[in-house]
Amino acid sequence: MADQAVGIPIVKEGLPFVGGLGGAALLFGLAGWIIPAGVVGGFMLFTAWFFRNPRRVIPQEPNVVVASGDGKVIAIEEEFEPRYLKEKSIRLTVFLNVFDVHVNRMPCAGTVEGISYQPGQFLVASKPEATLRNEQNAVMLKAESGAKVLCVQVAGLIARRIVCWVRQGERVQRGERFGLIRFGSRMDTFLPLGSKIRVAVGDRVKGGETIVGELR
């Protein structure tokens, strides 16, 4: 079920990492190994921060599309999407570095029509070839207007786990949390041709909060 992480400051997938590092730091401290305890404690704090799960103010304007993830817009391209949509669309790509929030959010309200996981490589997520070659998970949405919107979680150079909480047939809301990518990645959102884009390459966006486009 989507949005299962509501109200939790750290997503549950991060708790084992934070707990393990915290336990190790405690053991080092009890043993009197102050420097190792400090180093491991620092890693624990960074890991807790990486898996943070902040609340967002979701825009309520009709037909708008919000960013699927936090990060920098690195591409806005019209191209043929060959695997799922099988038609020409607008691809909007957001690159998430290790300092960005990595909880992914639904770009619009609608119904999940399909989910497809693709194993693959772990190229640097900002490279154009990562679109087709990297490990990824695609979520196909049918928006309330009937438009098809494709949201793709793409693993990056050091990302080794894609998490998706939604299921086919599920109704979702705009800005709803639906997944997570660990440690550096990107989000591709494919919108129908004719959609109005409201961001530009180089803009910083917040998942679930920044309006990136408008369905026509």
Q: Which DSSP symbol is given to 195?
A: P
Residue 36's alpha-carbon distances to 18, 30, 128, in angstroms, are 16, 11, 40
Residue 200's alpha-carbon distances to 62, 76, 169, 173, 213, in angstroms, are 21, 8, 32, 25, 10
C-alpha triplet 21, 98, 57: angle, nearest 5°? 100
Tokens of 175: 């800005």
Coil, strand or helix at 102 = coil
Position 193: which residue type? L
Q: Which residues are catalytic?
A: 185
